[in-house]
Amino acid sequence: MPLPIQGCAAGYKARESHERYRCFAPGYRVVVFYVPVMRTGASKAKIIFGGSIALLFVIAAVVSFFWTPHDVTRLDIANKLKAPGADFWFGTDHFGRDIFSMIMIGARTSIAVAIVAVGIGLLVGVPLGLAAAAFRHSAMDELIMRSNDLVFAFPALLIAIMITAVFGPGAINAIIAIGIFNIPVFARLMRGAALSLWTRDFIMAARVAGKRSLRISIEHILPNTLNLIIVQGTIQFSLGILAEAGLSYVGLGAQPPVPSWGRMLAESQTMISFAPHLALFPGFAILLTVLGLNIFGDGLRDYFDPRLRREGR
Amino acid sequence: MLVTLVVASVIIFVVIEVVPGDPASYMLGLNAAPETVAALRAELGLTESKFSRYLDWTGGMLRGDFGTSYTYRTPVSTMIADRVLISLPLALYALILSTLIAFPAGIVAATRRGSAADVGIMGATQLGVAIPNFWFAMLLVLFFAIQLRWFSAGGFPGWDQGILPGIKSLTLPAVALALPQASILARVMRSSLLDTLGEDFIRSARAKGLTARQTLWRHALRNALIPVLTIIGLQFSFLLAGAIIIENVFFLPGLGRLIFQAITQRDLIVVESVVMLLVFAVVVVTFLVDVGYAIADPRLRSGLQSA
């Protein structure tokens, strides 16, 4: 019998869909359709294709520490608003700064913010989810899951706005805001996955062997959920890049002079009618990074679990 | 739901109240005499204890009185009411657009799985999910406002100018907001419909002689709607929050611009109230979605009562 999860009446099936649990009446078959054969060839191709796009930006970010085609800290008014060409590949902005170099440096900001934000979500959310599953239906479980619901009521942008209202805008605060938003995502994922593992025989064997809940969680549950964590981590990573861009765009993210893709777009807005290249390239950078990560994540998911149908996020 | 709202209001209040700057000294500027600042603090009610101010704030909100803006000295409720009339229609408009795009796209992709149409639609949704919506909004402005001159690049004429000009100026923002949501929704629609089409009762319906089209409309769609409904409910909160950014692209005087102005002017009571209002909207919509389930699926009714 499936374990009743998070308030579902006994016999009801809980289903995680879009990071929420829903209860379904008995007999309601939740997953009935499997894509019969998800060729691992296709998922490998996705992993390689998406991964290389994402890797390209990681490399650009790393290289930007040593080298960029032009110096972006120097103003070069003589070359301002140059169209893309041989010397300035993506053109220059109103201060004569090279857009290509700025995008390379902007990749650092995006990737750093997204990585740390996912890290916060993982470090806090995963233990919370494990604990909630280990002590299911206890007061602690209830408290953890209810606080998760609460955080879910605040969209990431609202968290960022509140933090900004208190501490002022900045990259660190953007990281905290996106990170807080990630916590319930991982906590719910972990709790759901861990709960189904707790019913399995090998866990029962571990209990019979005298292991305590904490040890079982770390030694047996956690390793068996790594696939899920990696896939969800990729998804949250790409969402983090989008969120960082959005926050910087409205001025709540990285502050000048640190280049960031979102702020480049914000600055380009007043010049879009006569210098559209300023708006095009940073936007494509965001689009490509997120697209690459999403394809990579899709590929990983299919690779880890070929039965899993490709559910649209 | 009530507990969530109360706890959320406490969190918002506590977070905003620990702000270092004092609104009274900020309003009066650096050269203000300490007595004047003290007088203004008393007038704004800042001298009372935190607890009684919290009760004042929440009690006032229940009566529809959100307090008085520190900066503009006008009731916050009227400021918010003006802005809601832009943000809410924008979010609803986007929700309608996203549903109108996603349903046909998802249905076509599911019923013709593996076809060129399916591959095309899935590819397009992959793009739609990855595009930052404010960038898409800028591209819309570049193309439809600057190149073609079909729409204005921003601003809002006000509803007193008539409904049509108002809707027209909300069209580009709504399209920009709707695109990523439509992509997500189309994917959910497709996968949910694929699930349903694999069910036994679909085979029974076909076996008793219904055509594929009749089966789809009479049986499959209704059953596929439940996950779709969840996502639509969730999206509303994303749309409200997303509207905050999109309003900035189009210079729409909605809640988003109000909250950013309030932050820069240290008008904390406005920040508090707008954030609380948005959280309220999210919680209420989530609740409505739960009720919507019971309507869509009678099997869930008893479960809802016991929960």
- Say if B77 falls within a structural domain: no
> What pLDDT, in 10s, does the model give residues B127-145?
888 888 888 888 888 887 7
Give pLDDT, residue B44.
64
Residue B9 has pLDDT above 50, yes or no: yes
- Say if B68 falls within a structural domain: no
Which of chain A's residues have a Cβ under 8 Å away from the Cβ of B299?
25, 27-28
Question: Within a 10 A sphere around the Cβ of A81, how many other Cβ atoms?
Answer: 16
Cβ pair A18:B293 closer than 8 A: no
Domain A39-311 coded CATH 1.10.3720.10: yes
Same domain, B92 and B137: yes
Compare all CA atoms of chain B with the CA of A145 and give the residue at the minimum distance. Answer: B4
Same domain, B111 and B260: yes
Pick the residue of A167, A264, A311 with the most B CBs within 10 A to test the interface with B by mutation: A311
Same domain, B215 and B159: yes
Of the listed ranges A81-95, B95-109, B239-253, the least confidently predicted one is: A81-95
Give pLDDT, residue B26.
63
Q: State percent of chain B over pLDDT 70.
A: 79
Same domain, B87 and B212: yes
Q: State how far residue B113 is from chain A, nearest Cα, in angstroms.
A: 11
Same domain, B167 and B223: yes
Give pLDDT, residue A21.
46
> What pLDDT, in 10s, does the model give residues A105-150?
888 888 888 899 999 999 999 999 888 888 888 888 888 888 887 7
d(CA A174, CA A245) in angstroms, rounded, equals 10
Residue B154 has pLDDT above 50, yes or no: yes
* Residues A213 and A135 sit within 8 Å (Cβ to Cβ): yes
At residue A14, φ and ψ (nearest 5 deg) are -95, 140
- Say if B78 falls within a structural domain: no
Cβ pair A311:B259 closer than 8 A: no
Pick the residue of A5, A35, A150 with the most B CBs within 10 A to test the interface with B by mutation: A150
d(CA B281, CA B42) in angstroms, rounded, equals 33
The answer to whether ipTM exceeds 0.90 is no
Burial degree of B291 (CB within 10 A; 0-12, 13-18, 19+): exposed
- Give, for all 313 residues of chain A, the pLDDT tens digit: 333 334 445 555 555 443 344 555 555 444 333 333 445 677 788 888 888 888 888 888 888 788 777 777 777 777 666 777 767 667 777 776 777 888 888 888 888 888 999 999 999 999 998 888 888 888 888 888 888 877 777 777 777 777 777 777 777 888 888 888 888 889 888 888 888 888 888 888 888 888 888 888 888 888 888 888 888 888 889 888 888 888 888 888 777 777 888 888 888 777 777 777 778 888 888 888 888 988 888 888 878 765 554 443 3
Residue B255 has pLDDT above 50, yes or no: yes
d(CA A271, CA A99) in angstroms, rounded, equals 14
Which of chain B's residues have a Cβ under 8 Å away from the Cβ of A245?
132, 134-135
Same domain, B103 and B187: yes
Give pLDDT, residue A13.
53
Q: State how far residue A308 is from chain B, nearest Cα, in angstroms.
A: 11
Same domain, B127 and B7: no
Which of chain A's residues have a Cβ under 8 Å away from the Cβ of B135?
245, 265, 279, 282-283, 286-287
Which of chain B's residues have a Cβ under 8 Å away from the Cβ of A177?
none
d(CA A180, CA A226) in angstroms, rounded, equals 21
Cβ pair B303:A291 closer than 8 A: no
Same domain, B58 and B93: no
Give pLDDT, residue A1.
33
d(CA A131, CA A190) in angstroms, rounded, equals 9
Give pLDDT, residue A223.
86
Cβ pair A290:B244 closer than 8 A: no
Which of chain B's residues have a Cβ under 8 Å away from the Cβ of A153?
4, 8, 279, 282-283, 286
Cβ pair A312:B299 closer than 8 A: no
Which of chain B's residues have a Cβ under 8 Å away from the Cβ of A9?
303, 306-307
- Say if B76 falls within a structural domain: no
Give pLDDT, residue A40.
60
d(CA B223, CA B233) in angstroms, rounded, equals 17
Which of chain B's residues have a Cβ under 8 Å away from the Cβ of A143?
none
Same domain, B87 and B57: no
Same domain, B107 and B162: yes
In 3D space, the residue among B254, B257, B264 whose CA is nearest the CA of residue B92 turns out to be B254
d(CA B129, CA A308) in angstroms, rounded, equals 20
Element (H, E) at B56: helix B50-62
Q: State how far residue B184 is from chain A, nearest Cα, in angstroms.
A: 6
Cβ pair A161:B271 closer than 8 A: yes
Cβ pair B300:A24 closer than 8 A: yes
Cβ pair A18:B146 closer than 8 A: no
Which of chain A's residues have a Cβ under 8 Å away from the Cβ of B286?
153
- Say if B246 falls within a structural domain: yes
- Say if B197 falls within a structural domain: yes
Reported as a pLDDT band with limits 50, 70 and 90, residue B306 is very low
Nearest to A269 among B20, B129, B138 (CB): B138
Give pLDDT, residue A141.
83
Element (H, E) at A141: helix A139-152
Give pLDDT, residue A30.
43
Give A157's contacts (C-beta < 8 A, 6+ positions apart).
A177, A243, A246, A247, B241, B242, B244, B245
- Say if B74 falls within a structural domain: no
Give pLDDT, residue B298.
66
Segments of chain A assigned to CATH 1.10.3720.10: 39-311
- Please give the C-alpha separations between residue A254 and each of A100, A169, B205, B268, in angstroms, as whole numbers: 19, 8, 57, 23
DSSP for residue B144? I
Give exposure, A159-173, as e/b (b: 16+ Cβ within 10 Å): bbbbbbbbeebbbeb
Give B297's contacts (C-beta < 8 A, 6+ positions apart).
A25, A28, B226
In 3D space, the residue among A228, A245, A8, A205 whose CA is nearest the CA of residue A117 turns out to be A245
CB pairs under 8 A between A and B: 170
> What pLDDT, in 10s, does the model give residues B156-199?
776 777 777 777 777 888 888 888 888 888 888 888 888 787 77
> What pLDDT, in 10s, does the model give residues B14-64?
776 666 556 666 666 666 677 776 776 666 666 666 677 777 777 777 776
Of the listed ranges A116-125, A226-235, B204-213, B297-306, the least confidently predicted one is: B297-306
| Domain span including residue B6 | 2-62
Same domain, B147 and B267: yes
Strand positions, DSSP E, B14-136:
none
Q: How many domains does chain B have?
A: 2
CATH number at residue B163: 1.10.3720.10
Residue B71 has pLDDT above 80, yes or no: no
